Chain A
Amino acid sequence: MIDIKNLCKDFGNTRVLKNITETIHKGEKVVIIGPSGSGKSTFLRCLNLMETPTSGDIVFEGSNITKASDREINLLRQRMGMVFQHFNLFPHLTIRKNITLAPVKLKLMTQQEADDKAEELLKIVGLPEKADEYPARLSGGQKQRIAIARALAMKPEVMLFDEPTSALDPEMVGEVLELMKKLADDGMTMIVVTHEMGFAREVASRVMFMSDGEILEQNEPGEFFSNPQNKRLKDFLSKVL
């Protein structure tokens, strides 16, 4: 589904992604872990061109998106949902409007269709009664669930999660992970940057360890956690587990 070839990204003189070559298949749930500053968020953000790669190719469903025009990039992003660490809900809009804004303005749905879709999504994320509230009235966990619903409203083919639970109070992490698990069970292709090892172990079909801009090791979660090979991964796991 996504083919990444020799992906490099520089910020100024620092190379944060070093020649990453990787393939992500349809239906996979890839979890990326690693220490802060290892480039995992940057890697994720390159996939929908939130960051422009310095060099290398990313091929999404047969089309090379690193060479896409602005218009093509916008179309591509409609097919890739993204969930941010800080939710980034639109504070001036109601929850319903948050969810329906993009599909309606992009003329993918009428307001009525989008409203119906929003209602359906709000049921899925377990917040059907919040449609007319403003984001400021919600807890962190609720905000993130709405952010997921907002991304899903575009009917994306793949979902990118950039540390979706890192800004949450501990007691709210569970509800968000629960929802992500539900999404995974429904067959969504997911790429998740996270520090939640439990989630990685339980939901991932593949876990990647990134450090210093490189993917140092990857495996299915059982083997990954019980039998790590790379020394830096062993160090990392001994600190977080």
Chain B
Amino acid sequence: MDELIASFRQNFIEQDRWKYLTNGLKTTLIITFFAVLIGFVLGFIVAVIRSTHDKTGKLKIANLICKIYLTVIRGTPMVVQLLITYFVIFGSVNIDKIFVAVMAFGINSGAYVAEIVRSGIMSIDNGQLEAGRSLGLNYRQTMFYIIMPQALKTVLPALANECIVLLKETSVAGYIAVQDLTKGGDIIRSQTYSAFMPLITVAVIYLMMVMILSNLVSRLERRLAKNDRH
């Protein structure tokens, strides 16, 4: 017990090392938040283009671009994408690393969000589209007022899960020397030469955040299910 307390003091109290964790956590949350935003915007656009193409045969070129995007992003490791974004795409400009991480994670997440949203759109019965069109609404209006609200409700839990996945995935941001939560723990380890305390703490912090978010998701699911029954 004394040993644990000593280790705790050494790893977190001495030289205010706890700041590595709090600052790291802040960075992790910032990256996750903005990456989720970018991912959702990008994902929605791609999903609408893809499903419009599937339903009407229009937007051939846009659909092709989307398909290439999805294949490349989902077919390569996140870490590799992150490194390419930092060293190749933004290699020649001096730019904030957190911004680079946000872009890389956002673009990555967009591909997964796109397929989630698309599955939601395609799950809505075609009769809904026909009913909207038969009233004289155009494709966009039908999509926006009739299909999307229903599709979103269906995929909301899956989208929330995507946020959880993304939160954990940002732990590789250290590859481009962003000091996120994981990196923060690792810096402490390298200074104190004790691995157990900082790394386990980092794991516990992730675990707690994920558990809170999962709890919110399951509450959301229950509420949606209740609405469905009427």
Q: Which residues of A contact B (CB under 8 A)?
A: 48, 50, 70-71, 74-78, 80-82, 84, 86, 88-92, 101-102, 105-106, 134, 136-137, 147, 150-151, 154
Contact = CB atoms under 8 A, between A and B. Distances in A.
A77 B141 CA distance: 14
A90 B135 contact: no
Contacts of B128: 88, 90
B135 A84 contact: no
Contact of A154 (B135, B141, B228, B230): B135
B87 interface: no
Nearest to A138: B230
B133 interface: yes
B91 interface: no
Nearest to B129: A88
6 contacts: A50-B130, A77-B133, A78-B136, A88-B125, A137-B230, A151-B135
B131 interface: yes
Given A50-B133, A74-B138, A102-B132, 14 more contacts: A50-B134, A77-B134, A77-B136, A84-B131, A86-B125, A88-B130, A90-B131, A92-B149, A101-B145, A102-B137, A105-B137, A106-B141, A134-B230, A137-B230
Contact of A74 (B137, B145, B153): B137
A75 B136 contact: yes
Contact of A84 (B130, B146, B153, B230): B130
B131 A88 contact: yes
Interface in B31-60: none
B85 interface: no
Interface of B: 125, 127-128, 130-138, 141, 145-146, 149-150, 153, 228-230
Contacts of B138: 70-71, 74
Contacts of B130: 50, 84, 88
B122 to A, nearest CB: 17
A106 B132 CA distance: 12
Given A91-B150, A92-B149, A136-B230, A106 B127 contact: no
A78 B134 CA distance: 7
A74 B136 contact: yes
B146 A90 contact: yes
A48 B134 contact: yes
A157 B74 CA distance: 51
Nearest to A77: B136
A106 B133 CA distance: 12
B74 to A, nearest CB: 30
A164 to B, nearest CB: 13
B153 A105 contact: no
A99 to B, nearest CB: 10
A78 B135 contact: yes
Contacts of A77: 133-136
A84 B130 CA distance: 9
Nearest to B150: A92
A91 B135 CA distance: 16
A161 to B, nearest CB: 12
A88 B142 CA distance: 13
Contacts of A150: 135
Nearest to A135: B230
A50 B129 CA distance: 10
B58 to A, nearest CB: 10
A179 B138 CA distance: 29
Contacts of A136: 228-230
